[in-house]
Structure 1
Amino acid sequence: MSFINGYAQSRLNEKNDSLLFAQADSAFALSSRYSDSAFSLARALLSKSTASTSMRSVANIHNALGWIYLHKGFLDSSVNSLHTAWLLFGKARDTAGVIRTCINISEVYTRQSKIAYAIQYLTQADSLCIATNNTIFHTNVQRQLGVVYREAKDYKRAAVYLNRALADFLHIEDYFRYISTGISLSILYRNLQLPDSSLFILNQCNAILSRQPESLYQSAMVQEHLAETYYQTNTYGKALEHYTNAYFMFKKLNNKADIAYEGMNIGKVLWKLQRLTEAEQYLREAYQLSDTLKMLNYQYDVAKILSEMYGESNSWQKAYQWLHSAAVLKDSIDLSDQIKRTNELKEKFELEKKESEITLLKTQNQLAEAGNRKNRLLQYLFGLLFVTSVAIGWLLLNRVRIKRKLNEQLLRNQIAGDLHDDVGSALSVIDISSRIALAKKEEPAVVSEQLEKIRQYASSTMESMSDIVWSVNPGNDNLESVMIRVHEFAAEVCEPLHIQMEIGMAKGLERVSLDANKRKHVLLVCKEAINNAVKYSGCTLLQVKSEVVNSMVQITIADNGSGFNPASVKKGNGLTNMKTRATALEGNLILNPFAGKGTAVYFTFPAG
């Protein structure tokens, strides 16, 4: 019966793994159009994962998260999530997963203009594709190399890779990626001021589309890029024809955002053709649709075009009205960004709270299972050792129960204290600030000040809750997990300040086990060092490196900031606490400041 139950549980776990993997793929696919919904789905999937979830499924969830962060514009967070996926796919020996993640990481690095890093990951993907004879992925690598070199303005090499990928996609009859690559190549040709080549490749794409089952969205995109090419050559009649084709295709698909964009382009071309009445009609329609969709950026662009058009025709009153609308929209864009960040913090806090509850429940279940196993062992000993074993068994059982209750109580006290001190006080301040903002909503300066306070305390609350959840999770009992957490924190504080990060994490960190107290000490020392570098050094580069050398863990956190003179700085609690925690780990902490050249923190402790 036990074997049957175990087999049934195994089959159930496999089914759940397959479902999680497929749902992660769905979140990945949603990211380009509905990034907020995709983000909520991916975080929910991560909270569903358990100890029985396969490493491959967890890796795919992190891969989806990284791709979503890319589309949300959080590039450092994207790199961290994708790097975690890359590590997990590697441990699971999933070569296809490693290749996919390498391609995704390279795209993020390309957007950050870190071309060398992008090529490094694409080179690994290229080698794996050749070793496994994976033609489809290898062609994708060629396409991405073309995009990388295009962004690096090495147009000659970019053209070689994109043309090679185009030919390979045609050979394997992957027409969807052929069209996408053709559009990328047409953009390259426009950058090279080669409109004839751009038109040639786009007409080839049109020919392919005419022989395939209708793909209306790709057809519309080809029409749009044909129009862009004609517009570049001032062939406004042809540009109008293809923009109009794209406009009606998107109308058929009911893609309202694309309809608004094409309407704006049509209005812009009609203005060039001096067909001002029609131009005004399309531009006003694009403006109203953008207003309905709350797309402030499109509204702002249309308002600027209308202002310039009316100014050119000496309609000064209308020109002034639309110029004023554009200025108001610019202010609204800035305010909406603040509100969006506040809502994201709120959503993240609610998710972290849920994860905390789930983690606590898992911990209690694990403790209960451990108690049951020990109870059964004592029953077996009772049958063998009779009265003496009964006495010893009861003593051991009572000791285990007392210790378990004590540990549970200590855990509850610690969590309750953290929630009360950190989260409770912060939520009180948020509540008061929101009430003040509502009461003073007619005073923008007061509202802005209170929103900033809410943002700061929400961010602090989110970080505290995240640390609580992380500290009680038994899955984080090794140094690799601690350093991944450190890297995530570094990305969160560096990204808003545009501070470049370099992360070096050697192999073997997963073999260094740390209990709850030790990993807490390591995490807080690293966070304090990173905070000091970001807040006070004025740096543009932060390096975080970790390795194990001769049974000693060595962590280095260095910046290229202003440095300081130790004799002129008052010693505060931060440095004292860092040294105290290093001593508690039987380790050592050395601070090397160099005035005008940066600061380096060397943190070492035994790996055993």
Structure 2
Amino acid sequence: MKFLACLRLTALCLTLLSSNLVIAQIPKSLDSLETYVQTHPPTDTNYVNALLRLGNLTTKTKANYDRADSLLRVAEKVASKLNFGRGIYQANTFLGSNYYLLGRGQQTLEYLQKALAIAEANKLSPRILANAMTNLGTAYRNLNQQEKALDISLRSLRMQEQYNIQPRNENTYMGIGHALKETKRPREAIGYFQQALVLNRNLKYPYGMAISEQNIGRCYDDLDQYDKALAYYRIAGKHAKESESELLQADILVNTGLVLRKSKRLEEAKRSIEQALVLNKKQESKGAMATDYFNLGQVYEELKDYKLAEQNMKKALALANELKDNTKIAIYTQGLADVYGGMKDFQQAYVFQLERNQRMDSTTTVRTSAEVQRMVAKYETEKKEAQIKLLQQQAKLNQQERERIQFRTNVFIAGSVLLLLLGASVSAWLLNRSRFQRLEEAQKLRKQIAHDLHDEVGSTLSSISILSGHTDTLLRQNRPGMDTSETAQRLVQKIYTDARQILESIDEIIWTINPGNDSLHRIALRLQEYAQPLMESKGVECSFQIDPALGDAPISMEVRRSLYLIGKEAINNLIKYSGATQATVRFERKNDQLQVMIQDNGRGFDPAQLSERTGQSSMKQRAEAMGGSLDVQSAPGQGTRLQLVINP
């Protein structure tokens, strides 16, 4: 939930840009500005500037986006008639800011690209051009195009340095800091946020100081340094009050509450989120109110006050349904299922869990049985990962013990499912054909997990056992004239390598079966996490591009696993054999198809001469099993291009 508060807070930085363009004689308060625009004719640039300031303040202090949008469009029209380039530029900038706050990323990008083009066409000052680049960086970040965001923000900073623009635009430093934070480099980001803070202090601008301090706090939060995060949040809160921005105060209070919750200071967390809720009610911001109610519900859940947790989460769900926000609806529905589980009301827990699954996968409900198993295990044993732990234990037990535990597990699952069905008064499900299909799918999932553990872990464990015994024998013999220590050292190194391989294999198996990873976007992020350290270790400059259109589109476990293994094999081949210095990995969605492209500038090869070491035949078989196709284009000395196309 912190993401929503951070999104709104980041967008607020955008509304500050170019405010210095407004002529000083224009009123500053909302009421006086309303009077000014109603009593002055739309015949000069002062009228345009008054409309721009009024639209900006309407967004910042009232969060009335429709009213602000109307004012800014009138300002753009009048500025165009007057051929007032700065006014046209600023109107598009503030329109982009409004769309950012409303969560419309593509429209935000279009308006801010238009603003930059207007600034360049009208040959506006270097300061305005630098501001426009900074704004555009914010739009790119919103679409998760972090490389573009960082590139254009650095261009803005270089322009400011080239023309010695003073004072520097603090939002440029903020943009660079945000891009670094989003790419999991919070320590580097802190330095840029601190530079923005210094600039805002010099300007004696409490609103900007509050935003800078809040972002520093968020970085310390990411680093799990909660005391430092709280210190910055509290200072930011004081400056937000000075700026009289209730919207900003609410953002800071929410983040404060979330950190207090992580620190297990639950009563303080509750008070902080309640204060944010009061402010958001005044602003009539339903999306923010929904977030506050849900966060309060989670705090009450940790306090074991399940009734209040239920009440708050129901309010959050009602607002999300009113807003038709499917992402929030899925999250809040899962939250209610967890609360009812804590209350031991398994009938309601089952109902909400089933609803959540139906929303996450509208085409099939075969995962319902597996989710029920996960839920029962959690609520009866109070261990969220009981099934995974059970499978890990099975890998260490002998065959007879595994069969006994499997039998007991099946009896427990069958009994628990029966109890849920009886409690829910749906005994008819026992005779329903779809129930047997779901049970069959759950059994298939367990067999797949067991098969993966046997293939990936069993043989390696046997190898470790044999090597350990041999190493022990060598060390006990210690015969004169034999270099046993060197041999033992090699065996120990082999044991270490095999153990790491087991850990990686188990990690991949757990990631594969986790329903939370059932989306194209999560697969792309997983491959990026796998590829980046390998690329850096070999000095390969890698551009990793993820199409925002991927979103959180669901995908089956089998397709997700095959897609990940193909990408992993291709990346390994690139690292081992290509000798490349540059590589590009792109995930994009076109015409309801997922297209994955991996390209390098390496030495290339002749595709007609298939090599088992590159695993091309295996990758193509996996692609065909998914109903897709794999195309490999390469030639000696011309690099390699691999393209995978599937219908997810």
Which range, TM-score by smaller chain?
0.3 to 0.5
Structure (1/2) with the larger helix percentage? 1
TM-score relative to the length of structure 1? 0.48
TM-score relative to the length of structure 2? 0.45
